[in-house]
A and B are shown apart, each in its own frame.
Chain A
Amino acid sequence: MSDLYLPRTAVIDQRTQESPTIFTLRMQFEDDHAQQAFDFSPGQFNMVTLFGVGEIAISIVNDPQDSHFFDHTIRVVGRVSEGMSGLRPGDRVGIRGPFGRGWPLDEARGKDVLLVTGGLGCAPLVSVIRYLMNRRDQFGHITILQGVKHSSDLIWREQYDIWSREHEVKVLLAADVVTREWRGQQGMVTELIGELNLRIGRAIALLCGPELMMMAAIANLRSMGLADNQIWFSMERNMQCGVGQCGHCQIGPKYVCRDGPVFCYSELADFMGTKGF
């Protein structure tokens, strides 16, 4: 039996500094077979180990068809992520994964897709955005709402520009605090939702970011008539194992690592907004 706790080694090919506190590591498994067999869906994550320091949950930001490598975009928040920011091409990390249930691609096929992200929490959504863009004919209108606190926090600016030029793709950026060069809106991303002309009957919403932002967005979407089972979002909780064993990530009866991290609103409605879950 394979040991579900034992990481496999991956070598870093490339490191990109996205912002003062965010960096992307492109890597591949040392073992070619492991790399070829690595099959994930957008919204899934890996447990990434830094030698002697720790192991943390990090989303996979690629389109699954990128078969030769995978990318992790990491924000420095504490001990392990800080340590990982020192990694350079040629360095190695341990990888377990992919884990979890990703975005509901089958449910979204043929629909208009609204993607709402806030704060710096866009990593779990990037993979699905790439997926949609590479399969444009399978989906209806695509609207991306990206909110940041300060306009200088926005990463992947060129990428958003490229996406916005695609057919029937709208990208709306909002920042609470803006500089003069900012071309997006000023204000909260949730305020933009009300201004959208959503075709409610054929829309699905995918959300990611701080929970307060997501709850405000969910309230807006529901008041516009979007059904609870068409609202999906990605959650984070303390995670030690990633495989539904350690008990930390539970929200009510759900394990974020195994039942999520992507949930439908109707699955977690009883707990969203209740402090302590």
Chain B
Amino acid sequence: MARDGAIQFAEMTSVEQLSPGLTNEQQPGRYRLRQGDGDRLFDWNHGPQGVKPHCFSPREVLWSEQGEPLRFQPRLPAQAPIALVGVRACDLAALSIQDKHFLHADAPDPHYRQRREQLLLIGVDCAHSAETCFCVSTGDGPALDGGYDIGISELDEGFLLWPGSDKGQTITDRLALQPADDRQLESMLRISTQAAEEQQRSLPQPAELRRLYRRLEHSHWQDVADRCLACGNCTAVCPTCFCYDTGHEMSLDGENAQMVRQWDSCFSAGHSYMAGLLVRANVLQRYRQWLTHKLAGWQEQQGRTGCTGCGRCISWCPVGIDLTQEAAAILREGSVDV
């Protein structure tokens, strides 16, 4: 739904609340909704939030404690089932990356799991790419490729709909659907091919990106650091960033307290704090941490980069820093690998 000038996931009771013909314009440091002529419902790409806040809550209580005698009580979220409608391929890929992180076999996060299990995901093929999208180069879009319960492709004449999971199947079984004809299937393919062809940006390939770790002293890091405000917008809108901070909050009478976690960012000063020392004291080191982790470190940790090409970090960066360009510059110019 459109809210506060952006597409957002919000509670919906009627299809009338969607805005026919709405599109978005996204550029480095710029996001605007535009009213187009048509009456298509999903011609926009995405707003600042992906699926992330619905599984990894921006702020939540992990447990509570009582002081005398000391006792700890679990505080798992009571999450009602929700359906997210209009999720894009890049965000489904990002969700599977977050699943791997938070539901890691050695240490699955029960809070994340509780929320995750309540999600019904209705994916939709993108019919257009925003100027900041580059999911083709990361292999994650613009057409759906798994991770959803029900898939949708919006044609001019209506919707193609298919199940992507058992849960989705139980729903599609109850709908009075007509089988798609060849012409409709062709249009579906044409639409997402066209969206792919619209893309102007691309990220270097994973093997290339691993070389970022060999270029930690490249002079271009300072060039980015001179522009970057270390505001952390990019990490907040990134659908895969997972860093969080924890802290205790005491009740006023001092008898109870709770452990709260909230999103943190590797751009914050406290992120690398150790008694009396900041491991990453300046913007250069923080931007370098973010980019090298996202594009290189993640490959060792999860077998793929932590970027699915959604381009949000480009649109929502107040100074329009573009990671595809920065990564390419560091890999291309100047100093050789060390």
Q: Could you list which residues of chain A lie within 8 angstroms of chain B, going by C-beta atoms?
A: 1, 3-9, 49, 51-55, 77-78, 92-94, 236-238, 240-241, 243-248, 250, 252-253, 258, 270, 274-277
Contacts and interface: CB of A to CB of B under 8 A. Distances in A.
A229 to B, nearest CB: 18
Contacts of B292: 252
A246 B275 contact: no
A245 B280 contact: no
Interface of B is mostly: mixed
Nearest to A239: B274
B246 A55 contact: yes
A94 B275 contact: no
A52 B299 CA distance: 38
A4 B216 contact: no
Interface stretch (B10-18, B198-206, B247-255): B247-255
Interface of B: 62-63, 65, 67, 69-72, 74, 76, 101-102, 104, 106-111, 113, 213, 216, 242-248, 250, 254, 257, 259, 261, 264, 266, 270-276, 279-280, 282, 284-286, 288-289, 292-293, 296-301
20 contacts: A9-B69, A52-B254, A78-B275, A92-B69, A93-B70, A238-B273, A245-B102, A247-B264, A247-B266, A250-B293, A252-B292, A253-B297, A253-B301, A258-B107, A276-B279, A276-B286, A276-B288, A276-B289, A277-B279, A277-B289
Contacts of B247: 54
Contacts, number: 127
B285 A52 contact: no
A172 to B, nearest CB: 28
Contact of A246 (B244, B250, B272, B297): B244
Contacts of A238: 270-274, 279
A163 B216 CA distance: 44
B194 to A, nearest CB: 37
A265 B134 CA distance: 38
B338 to A, nearest CB: 9
B39 to A, nearest CB: 43
Contacts of A5: 62-63, 109-111, 259
Contacts of A246: 243-246, 261, 264
A55 B261 CA distance: 12
B245 A3 contact: no
Given A52-B257, A94-B72, A276-B280, A247 B243 contact: yes
B61 to A, nearest CB: 10
Contacts of B62: 5-6
B65 A52 contact: yes
A246 B102 CA distance: 10
A96 to B, nearest CB: 10
> Which of B102, B245, B275, B300 is the most central at the interface, judged by chain A CB atoms within 10 Å of its CB?
B275
Contacts of A247: 242-244, 264, 266
A6 B74 contact: yes
Contact of B63 (A3, A78, A240, A248): A3
Given A52-B254, A253-B296, A4 B276 contact: no
Given A238-B271, A274-B216, A275-B285, 20 more contacts: A1-B110, A4-B107, A4-B110, A6-B62, A7-B63, A9-B71, A52-B254, A53-B248, A92-B69, A237-B279, A238-B272, A238-B274, A240-B264, A245-B109, A246-B245, A248-B264, A252-B213, A252-B297, A258-B107, A276-B282
Contacts of B279: 237-238, 276-277
A275 B270 CA distance: 16
